[in-house]
Amino acid sequence: VNIIENSTELCAALAPIRGSGRIALVPTMGCLHEGHASLIREARKLADQIVVSIYVNPLQFGANEDLDLYPRTLAEDKAICEKEDADILFHPVNLYPMNGPHVTLKVEGLSGIMCGRSRPGHFDGVVTVVNILLNIVQPDIALFGEKDWQQLIIIRQMVNDLHLPVEVVNCETVREADGLAMSSRNRYLSASERKKAAVLCRALSSIQAGARAGEARTSQLLKAGNGILTSAGIKPEYLEIRQADTLNRLDRLNGTTSARAFIAARIGSARLIDNIALETP
């Protein structure tokens, strides 16, 4: 894998392929795990040249968040990119030179719910950096994991609103054997916290099972999910059921609109999120 640190060099490396082959971008903040590996594998199926970007974007971290602690593991990340046959690892030193950014994007509406409530400005930082990365790489496709479903919907909105010529592809969440969604932040968990963290997925699965069994009232489904969390001593930041694409709240599942259950909870010092699709019978 070719490690490139500046956008001029990246442009030059991609020039020969542009127009003749498809370029895929897998944007990441590094600390790559099996979830990222699956994005690279999917990209391999859909494109000829794969760029994995690694940039811990300061703009999407709040003042009291884990920007300084966020794991930086470039050597391991490079090994994963090599194993998965990525072509270029784009590792810019700073995407906001000269005290930038002086221009930022702001997402109305969608960024004020769920994760946006406790992380004001977070999604503005995400779309600002993703837009910059898309402008630098100019890929045909960009791949994102479904674990960050709200991020995915917001990025789709940005791509639509700005008419960006890129196809957004989502890939299923990759889970540990006990269901815990893979995340770079799982590294913050102690052994006992790691066990407890699997309860988030269990609560979501119970909501999914309730929906499959025919319960349509979201209040009832959430009650069951909250029961599981409470028994494990977890007080979630939120547990909600929303329409999958608009993220509108739903009172009832109706079998025609697709719905998802979403959770965020703090386990020890880690803030973890997860979500699951709900199909009605």
Rounded least distance, CB 60 to ligand PAF, Å: 6
User: Helix/strand/coil (H, E, C) string of 12-70?
Assistant: HHHCCCECCECEEEEEECCCCCHHHHHHHHHHHHHCCEEEEEECCCHHHCCCCCCCCCC
Rounded least distance, CB 132 to ligand PAF, Å: 10
Separation CA 137–CA 160 (nearest Å): 18
Rounded least distance, CB 169 to ligand PAF, Å: 13
Q: Tokens 């791949």: give the residue.
A: 143
Task: Single out the catalytic residue among 33, 36, 102, 163.
Answer: 36
**Cis peptide bond prior to 236, omega within 30° of 0:** no
Q: Is 148 in the site for ligand PAF (CB under 6 A)?
A: yes
**Residues 150 to 179: which contact ligand PAF by CB under 6 A?**
151
Please select the residue that binds ligand PAF; options are 25, 29, 114, 189, rule is CB under 6 A: 29
Structure tokens that stand for 267 in this block: 């386990």
Q: Is 278 in the site for ligand PAF (CB under 6 A)?
A: no
User: Helix/strand/coil (H, E, C) string of 108-126?
Assistant: CCHHHCCHHHHCCCHHHHH
Q: Is 27 in the site for ligand PAF (CB under 6 A)?
A: yes
Rounded least distance, CB 184 to ligand PAF, Å: 8
Rounded least distance, CB 83 to ligand PAF, Å: 19
Please select the residue that binds ligand PAF; options are 38, 49, 57, 186, rule is CB under 6 A: 57
- The binding track of 92-131 with respect to ligand PAF, each residue x by CB under 6 A or -, is ----------------------------------x--xx-
With the C-alpha atoms ordered 177, 180, 184, 187, is the resulting torsion angle positive or negative?
negative
The count of C-alpha atoms lying within 13 angstroms of the C-alpha of 262, restricted to the half-sphere facing its C-beta, is 24
Structure tokens that stand for 190 in this block: 């102690």
Separation CA 68–CA 61 (nearest Å): 10
Alpha-helix runs per DSSP H in 176-252? 191-212, 218-231
Q: Is 264 in the site for ligand PAF (CB under 6 A)?
A: no
Q: Is 273 in the site for ligand PAF (CB under 6 A)?
A: no
Alpha-helix runs per DSSP H in 47-121? 74-83, 115-118
Rounded least distance, CB 91 to ligand PAF, Å: 12
According to DSSP, the residues that pair with 252 across neighbouring strands are 217
**# of chain residues touching ligand PAF (CB under 6 A):** 10
Q: Is 218 in the site for ligand PAF (CB under 6 A)?
A: no
Catalytic residue flag (residue 122): no
Nearer to ligand PAF by C-beta: 27 or 139?
A: 27
With beta carbons less than 8 A apart as the criterion, state whether 211 and 280 touch. yes
Structure tokens that stand for 244 in this block: 């999958």
Nearer to ligand PAF by C-beta: 73 or 226?
A: 73
Which residues are tagged catalytic?
36
Interface residues with ligand PAF (CB under 6 A) are 27-29, 57, 60, 126, 129-130, 148, 151
